[in-house]
Structure 1
């Protein structure tokens, strides 16, 4: 089905913490580059169970080197604004509004500082931005193609970079089961984005496709293993996408990867990139 407004959430107001939320998440995945190097970046902060969890992760290519920093801090040791997006922890800072954001973070050997500018419409997962979630419900939307500029500093060398960032905003309420899912956020170029959910664990998936005009298509998909990577088939989009994935950050029960995408979409050959989170597997 194709959806238009209204949605069940307000994306601008939803940047600030949701008072009914039991878990609050602000998730940024960036692919940026200078003339020679590509950097994949994850900056993620989550408020949950009276604590603030922060992750900063960096992957360099072509050498494939990764490094990360993960912290768990009491809420009274960090700053989380009540009425806007302004989160500051020992590892990272995220702040801004729907049209412009600033994110920064550090690991032991690197630092990242990025400015993000929105040019594309908001992607509302499920079309409405709210859907059932492991016995409860979740609100989720994305700013999936943020134009990105800034600096990545590694080993004392600063690289001026540009590229694109996927920002994913999510909160959870009333869940009665431990989450277990595979999620994909794919940037296919030309204003085309897919947010893909597999909560069954067997490749059975559903997705929200955002088009450049802001319209949404919610449809089924199938994700299968192929030589350690994935093939995503989406009949409703006449799409077959080969997803080559590599690791970015892992802790027990959480794995974040980065993806290169090739294939066909509506009869057109495409290339793209994306990110994946595998939770509970």
Structure 2
């Protein structure tokens, strides 16, 4: 049974209240989210149950919903194959209306030992890529992703080859802000919903340039939807990380900017307890890498601090060139984590997402 850390629900409610009050809305989580909290009992062979009141259903909400704007299915992995460490990303996003809006389908692979990197980005025709089947059912030229909260199959293509893996979520679900709901940019007119399966057993094959190797490792699957400002030209931006640490903690960290800046983290402990905490996500601008394709500059090192966890973390990308220029542009960088946590040494992995900086 998943537990709630003492005070976690109060912290989440206080943060939602402060965000809502800042926008002039009512100071209640239910009103801010526009729905009533429900108790999730999602379980499977590897998933724990929870009776924590949340705003999402981790199993049912994997399915596409035509009434939702800006739906995202996002998986990143750190795996081994052929004696090397690899990171890979597969991301499908439907922007605007699911049937009339535009979408993007992105895949990237990085050899974390050598820095070799490749990617595939496509813009599918409007209204394609998703179906009304239950669970994940995504079909594009570079991603085939099907299944449910118990087991999924993912086939992702890059110019040099394919990833063919089975994804089996286990353990506890991470609910952003403790409930699965948060006001993006601290503004209740942008109600966003996000949760993650942060521990996904991943196995299969990786084929590159004609060579096929067995894959073993872990993935982080993130599901999000909700309205956003019309374009990054409006001045909004964010940086986000999904930290998986050697002490078992898994953390979703947000830094958003749109008129004001908001920093916060949702921390999922190994025992299943979850807290919402103050955090800072600070780029090291002395390490900027400038894309020759878009001219945009991205930090390649960051510092993450979470005072409540006594966490001081250093995040460094495995290779500077990890921009996805055609589906953003944005930065999706596999990175290493080192530092201290609860006054003890810790290491880990993450992906850094930067949009609109």
Alignment of 1:142 onto 2:196: yes
Which ranges in structure 1 are unaligned for 5 or more consecutive residues?
A: none
Farther-moved stretch of structure 1 (173-182 vs 231-240) = 173-182
How far is 1:114 from its partner? 1.2
- The number of residue pairs the alignment matches comes to 281
Task: Name which of structure 1's ranges 232-241 and 96-105 shifts more when overlaid on structure 2.
Answer: 96-105
**2:89 aligned with 1:17:** no
Contact 2:82 2:213 in 1 (8 A): no
Q: Which has a greater percent of strand? A: 1
Rounded Cα–Cα distance in structure 2 between residues aligned with 1:130 and 1:225: 26
Match of 2:55 in 1: 8
Contact 1:137 1:175 in 2 (8 A): no
The answer as to whether partners of 2:247 and 2:346 remain within 8 angstroms in 1 is: no
Task: Tell me how far apart the structure 1 counterparts of residues 128 and 257 of structure 2 sit (CA, whole Å).
Answer: 37
Q: 1:127 aligns with which of 178, 192, 197?
A: 178
Which 10-residue stretch deviates more, 42-51 or 74-83?
A: 74-83
Distance (Å, rounded) in 1 between the aligned partners of 2:342 and 2:129: 47
Indicate the residue corresponding to 1:30 in structure 2. Answer: 77
CA distance in 2, matches of 1:215, 1:189: 17
How far does residue 174 in structure 1 lie from its aligned partner after superposition? Answer: 6.4
Q: Within 1, Cα distance between the matches of 2:228 and 2:279?
A: 27
Q: Does the Cα contact within 8 Å between 1:124 and 1:140 map onto a contact in 2?
A: yes
1:193 counterpart = 2:250: yes
1:232 is aligned, of 284, 294, 304, to 304
Considering fraction of residues, name the structure with more helix. Answer: 2
CA distance in 2, matches of 1:174, 1:166: 23
Alignment of 1:239-250 (within 5 A): 239-245=311-317, 246-247=319-320, 248-250=322-324
Alpha-carbon distance between aligned partners in 2 of 1:58 and 1:254, rounded to the nearest angstrom = 15
Deviation at 1:253, TM superposition (A): 3.1
Distance 1:61 1:214 in 2: 30
* Cα distance in structure 2, aligned partners of 1:141 and 1:250: 23
| 1:130 CA displacement | 0.8
In structure 2, C-alpha distance between the alignment counterparts of 1:198 and 1:34, rounded to whole Å: 33
Structure 1 position 203, deviation (Å)? 8.0
Is the 1:204–1:221 Cα contact (8 Å) retained in structure 2?
no
Written as runs of structure 1 = structure 2, the 5 A alignment for 1:1-281 is 1-3=7-9, 5-34=52-81, 36-49=83-96, 50-134=101-185, 135-173=189-227, 175=229, 178=232, 179-200=236-257, 205-226=263-284, 228=287, 229-245=301-317, 246-247=319-320, 248-251=322-325, 252-281=328-357
Task: Say if 1:111 and 1:249 are closer, same or farther in 2 by CA, change over 3 A.
Answer: farther
Structure 2 spans left out of the alignment, 5+ residues: 1-6, 10-50, 288-300
Q: In the TM superposition, what whole-angstrom CA distance separates every residue of 1:32-68 from its partner, at most 9, and x where no partner exists?
A: 1135211110101111242331001111132211111
Q: 1:257 to 1:63 in 2, by over 3 A?
A: same
TM-score of the superposed pair, with normalisation by structure 2: 0.74
The separation in 2 between residues aligned to 1:151 and 1:260, in whole angstroms, is: 23
Instruction: Give the greater-gyration-radius structure (CA).
Output: 2
8 Å Cα contact 1:192/1:212 also seen in 2: yes
What is the distance in 2 between the residues matched to 1:169 and 1:77?
Answer: 19
The SS at the match of 1:236 is helix
CA distance in 2, matches of 1:33, 1:212: 23
SS of the counterpart of 1:117? strand
